[in-house]
Structure 1
Amino acid sequence: MKINISLFVTLPFLLMMTGCTHSNYIEDELKIDDSEEEFSYLTDLSEEELKSYELFTREYDTNYLKGFSPEKTLLIYIHSAVIDDIEGIYSLTYFHGELPDFDTFKEKYYENLNNSNLEIALDFRYYDSIKTKQEDSNGLLVELMVSYGRLTASTLMGLKKEKDTWKIEIPDLLQN
């Protein structure tokens, strides 16, 4: 009878200990998941650059972005696509030196470029590198690269300088 009482007391105690340990483990996992930071294409901007960016988004005056590298300008452009800031995209677009009026641009953008810009934003969300790949008198190419395990993906975007500010070249799809 003593053996049965001891098992009766010991077994629930062990189960209770295991249960507590398991719930502590789950709590620790939740803490790790909750501490992840939200991704932003603007993370690499300095405090001063963030202030300039904020001023840019108030007036969409690209003079606030003078001195920004082509890479950081591209990141602002992609961020603008993510948040659907069509005025920002319009201001950062180079189209053979002359953009159509805003309403025409907006219509053509949503018809032809919005989905591809959002795919780029999603595919390269946790990019590994961004760098100028090729430069000539007509502008430059910026490469955005990301690795998924053993696979690597990259995209090249053309930029031109207009009034001392880098702008993203858009394909001729806008002409349709």
Structure 2
Amino acid sequence: MDERAQLRKLLLEKSYREGTFTLTSGKTSDFYIDGKQTTLSAEGAYLCGRLLYGLIAAHPEKISAVGGMTLGADPLVTAVSIVSYLENNPIPAFIVRKESKGHGTDNYLEGKNNLPPGALVAVVEDVVTTGGTLIKVIDRAVKEGFRVGLVAAIVDRQEGGGENLAARGYPLASLFTRKELAG
């Protein structure tokens, strides 16, 4: 079984649930994908890291860092960074806070000291519904002086997120669409 098929199987076993759920966007859904159940497993983290790193490595311009919104993206950016190191192409990770620390450096973006000024970055998320979380990450990265070259997710729920991101000039690359994952 290839890595993508292996990840799909793992997502269906660990993360995909049917029922009635309220999403971060406030929408109600008859299914839920709890990406952290997969990304926080050793196998899931490795597979997500490998596959997302593949998207980054294939980008026509050199991506200098990978980041995302805490908490969903934390295991993803760490996995990608570790895989990149193992591939002899180290890419540092950064994490965007939902709120500034309110003390110390008062940062929204952690890890920025590892990035060169004006760096081209990738932003990632486990599951995209409306794209709102990724838009916040993009806005905060741009405000810090970085350029966003790639926006990627493990799963696109196909509920407008890809279109919302594309309308802002950031096409979404996903490892799976809802249809590809669950039929």
Q: Same fold (TM over 0.5)?
A: no
Quick one: higher RCO (CA 8 Å, sep 6+), 1 or 2?
A: 1
Larger radius of gyration: 1
Q: TM-score range by the shorter chain?
A: under 0.3
Structure that is richer in strand per residue: 2
Q: TM-score, normalization: structure 1? A: 0.27
